[in-house]
Amino acid sequence: MSEASGTAPDVVDYNIGKILQALPHRYPLLLVDRVRSITLGERIHAIKAVSMNEQFFQGHFPGAPIMPGVLQIEALAQAAGILGIETMELAGTGKLVIFMGIENAKFRSPVTPGCLLDLHVEFTQKRSRVYKFKGVASVEGKTSCEVEFTAMMTDPPA
């Protein structure tokens, strides 16, 4: 996934305060630390700083810590959630972006403590409240995970 599309980002260096406004996730499940750029309606580049202090490293795997692939997908989904919320100008409204389907998930290389996990997500289809995305997670340009997923914009459960 490339950031060079001829379109300048609409948002650059989106900080943790804005992330907390856009997403309902909190520690220990908030998996986006920074947003480098957003091109509204198109793509996002976010970052997850992977620390040895992550709870999942206690059991995955002792002595050989590796970030679980499903959490890489969750990090990509959270980045997609920010993209959707910002594109629709819904930050702070409580709207949720929830998974409907995950397809073609592939895991290419391990993610270990100390890595900066780059999260690149782009819209592939938009319909009313249902969206399709393609996401690629990488470390220093080497793909660790790629996935296609479908999500829906909705109100939180009562």
Tens-digit pLDDT string for the chain (158 aa): 444 556 777 877 689 999 999 999 999 999 999 999 999 999 999 999 999 999 999 999 999 999 999 999 999 999 999 999 999 888 888 888 899 999 999 999 999 999 999 999 999 999 888 999 999 999 999 999 999 999 999 998 88
pLDDT of residue 5: 54
Query: What's the confidence (pLDDT) of residue 2?
Result: 44
d(CA 50, CA 47): 9
pTM of the model: 0.92
Distance separating alpha carbons of residues 123 and 105, to the nearest angstrom = 16
The pLDDT assigned to 81 comes to 94
Query: What architecture is the 11-154 domain classified under in CATH?
Result: Roll (3.10)
CA 71 from centroid of its chain's CA atoms: 10
Tokens encoding 82: 């920010």
Residue positions counted in the chain? 158
Q: Which one is catalytic: 25, 45, 60, 120? A: 60
- pLDDT value of residue 146: 98
Q: 80, 97 in Cβ contact below 8 A?
A: yes
Can 60 be counted among the known catalytic residues? yes
Kind and range of the H or E element at 47? strand 43-49
Are 106 and 61 in contact by the 8 Å Cβ rule? The answer is: no
CA 136 – CA 138 distance, rounded (Å): 6
Domain ranges of the chain: 11-154
Burial of 63 (0-12, 13-18, 19+ CB in 10 A): exposed
Phi-psi region of 142 (alpha: psi -120 to 50; beta: other; left: phi over 0): beta
